[in-house]
Amino acid sequence: MTNIHYSICDFCDSMCGIEIEHEAGAILSVRGDKQHGFSRGHICPKGIANQDLHNDPDRLRTPLRKKGNDWEEVSWEEALDEAGERLAGVQKKHGRDALGLFYGNPIGHNYGSLFALVPFVKGFQTKSVFSATSIDQLTRMLASLLIYGNHAILPIPDIERTDYFLILGANPVSSNGSIMTASDCKHRLLEMQKRGAKIVVIDPRRNETAQIADAHYYIRPGADAPLLLSMLNIIFSEGLSRTGELENKTTGLDRLKEIVKAFPPSRAARIARISEPDIRKLAREFASAKSAVCYGRRGICTQEFGTLAGWLTDALNIATGNLDRPGGAMFTTPAVDLVGLAKLLRQPGYFDRWKSRVSGLPEFNGEFPAAAFAEEILTPGPGQVKALITNAGNPARSIPNTRRVEQALSSLEFMVSIDIYINETTRFANLILPPTSPLENDHYPLLEYNMSVRNFTHYTPALFERPAGAKHNWEIMLDLLYSVEKHSGAAAFALGWIKRKALYGLSPLRQLNLLLKFGPHKLSIEKLLAAQHGIDLGPLEPRLDKILSTPDRKIHLVPEKLVPDLSRLEKRMLEWEQAPPAEFLLVSRRELRSNNTWLHNSLRLVKGSRICTLIMNKGDAERLGIAQGQPAAVSTRIGKILVPAEITDDIMPGVVSMNFGWGHDVDGVKLRVAREHPGVNVNEITDEKHFDAFSGISMLDGIPVKVTKP
């Protein structure tokens, strides 16, 4: 007899409701849940691949220990004891900071892991912490910390009610929203247009979102900050600013007016390659719309001036009165309010309390930028990282300068990976500790519902009971920490035993239930279980007064820490104006059938047309003699790669685009499907020395490259 289980796909920020048909422990089909109140039956190929990941014969089920060039299965007790002894030994010999931690994006999609993350990281008492944040969204969070006093206060486009949606460096049709949970985003945008709203995309590529937008403008990669400054120049000089009620809540408005005088549209036009009339049109349309919202994502985050660009998207919304009001940039009222929790615990976020040992890059929320990862392992001296724990992360493919990262990983004294695969990173580990699969976990989108375009909540129990002896990710984290503490001395052992008992007793589910009960909507696990398709909590509503976390309870429109970075921008703009541009600039892109580095072992996602290609302009390809599907050579100072060319008119001349997370054809990787469809690793040519100097976030968009015919 077949059964239906309603669940949530946790592979990306979209968090779509799914309907899983199963019988006797076997999955028969995965479909979109048509009754789901948020995703409305939408599902992308990744959602269907839940079945593939769960059944994947390459997915690890038991701990593995490196034995020569091969692996052997070991018990959990033996693996955890060895890991604890070796890691504690490294810290005793070399100091606390000799142990490094790296965790990846999947941690953010698992509420149990999120609850365990703080005690896990703090328990090791090391400053050598890294994550995917600094190769993704760090600048967005940092801008929020500087402007609103809390890194978790994230402005979300109210796309259900806006009249004008300005999108920079984002492709929500492919991503279904990122730091903007918006499942079925394409149809949401089409619904906007049906009611008369205008969608404008500014991007070096005419991406999938631009193809359905009302207008698209090409822009020189990395020139978003000059463009936004010039738009503000026009808005202020033409008297189009209308801050309204925000004026009394804001400091720095007059300062911003003075700053933008140095950035006229004529200058931005030369740099951004958008005509001055078009820049004036954009500014006037945005300011005069009944409601408008500017939204920027990865393309403006991971660039040379990512923090400035993130700040200026907010400044544009604030200067036109489009913050915290219907149709503008708003803030969710989630069932579990992370901003409120951060305020209660007095943990608003931190920046630049200390700097990395080698390059002096700033800390953010207790983490160093990933740009410092390899050098902190390879550079001798006090504090050198000698051992590493990775958790659902693949730095050997996600961090710039892959060869140096791999050199660093191979040099470690000891390494433990919490992961479900033997991949490009975990092949260097001494021990791999595999957690349960997503379908063996319950789900609550803790982060995602704090970034949703509509207030919504949904909890789903696990479809399958975990196998006997299997451990959830959060359990592995706590057990590993306890094992290290056990081997660190009697006092640490006693404290670790008490802490582990308490955290196991107050399980993630119990913590979630408490937060739901004390949250804004006074819900509970019981109420959520009774709603198989989720609970709609209504449209976004004004709530900035409740969450603003600056000491003076004001919006800091011009953060003092950020002002000096304008001088760096000014210097670069002079160089752009005086020097000929680089022959090509490389930008990244998202693909609907891909998700960073870890879903390429699903045949349904990699079969068919090639995903990993170099998109280039037709005219550029003809000039270089490169034909469709033929390899193009792309090089920087650190290396060269050959990538199949995808030739189109939908990218501006002088710009090429490549997706990330590929390159699976290396020795030691145990991913059969991925090895047959390896793609090319773009981070073989990205340079870890290129980063936003203010925040330290890696520069993955606007990279100068040379493109030739091989």
Helix (H/G/I), strand (E/B), else coil: 32: strand
Alpha-carbon torsion, ordered 576, 582, 583, 588, to 10 deg:
-100
Q: How far, in whole angstroms, is CA 582 from its chain's centroid?
A: 28
The alpha carbon torsion through 224, 230, 231, 236 (nearest 10 deg) reads 150
Strands 639-648 vs 584-587: parallel, antiparallel or unpaired? unpaired
Domain with CATH 3.30.200.210 in the chain: 3-55
More confident residue, 582 or 566: 566
Q: Is the dihedral of CA 49, 52, 56, 62 positive or negative?
A: positive
Domain with CATH 2.40.40.20 in the chain: 582-708
User: In this structure, are residues 299 and 140 in contact, taking their beta carbons and an 8 Å threshold?
Assistant: no
Distances (CA, A) of 372 to 100, 306, 362, 424, 637: 12, 18, 10, 19, 18
- Condensed to tens digits (0 to 9), the pLDDT of residues 282-317 reads 999 999 999 999 999 999 999 999 999 999 999 999
Whole-angstrom distance, CA of residue 60 vs CA of residue 706: 40
CATH match for 582-708 among 3.40.605.10, 1.10.472.10, 2.40.40.20, 3.30.950.10:
2.40.40.20
CATH 1.10.3720.10, domain 3-55, yes or no: no
599-642 pLDDT per residue, tens: 899 999 888 888 899 999 999 999 999 999 999 999 999 999 99
CB 556 within 8 A of CB 252: yes
pLDDT above 70 coverage of the chain, percent:
99
SS3 418: strand
Q: What is the pLDDT of residues 143-181, one digit of tens each?
A: 999 999 999 999 999 999 999 999 999 999 998 888 999
- Give strand pairing partners of 30: 20
pLDDT of residue 1: 77
Give, as one character, the DSSP assignment of residue 383: T
- CA separation for the pair 129, 484 (Å, rounded): 17
CA–CA gap between residue 160 and residue 453 (Å, rounded): 8
Q: Which helix (H) or strand (E) holds 130?
A: strand 129-131
Q: Which helix (H) or strand (E) holds 131?
A: strand 129-131
Fold held by 158-330+550-556: Dimethylsulfoxide Reductase; domain 2 (3.40.228)
pLDDT more than 90, % of the chain = 90
Which one is predicted more confidently, 99 or 591? 99
Give the pLDDT score at 598.
Answer: 78
Q: Is 150 strand, coil or helix?
A: coil
Helices (H), 412-543: 473-486, 490-505, 508-517, 525-529
Residues 6 or more apart whose CB falls under 8 angstroms from that of 416 comprise: 83, 87, 388, 389, 390, 429, 430, 431, 432, 433, 480
Per-chain mean pLDDT for the chain: 95
From-to residues of CATH 3.40.228.10 in the chain: 158-330+550-556
At residue 18, φ and ψ (nearest 5 deg) are -125, 155
Fold of 64-136+338-537: Rossmann fold (3.40.50)
Per-residue tokens: 559: 């953060």
All CATH 3.40.50.740 domain ranges in the chain, comma separated = 64-136+338-537
Q: Each residue of 313-330: b (16+ CB within 10 Å) or e? A: bbbbbbbbbbbbbebbbb
pLDDT tens-digit series, residues 667-704:
999 999 999 999 999 999 999 999 999 999 999 999 99
Q: Tokens 């660009």 label which residue?
A: 309
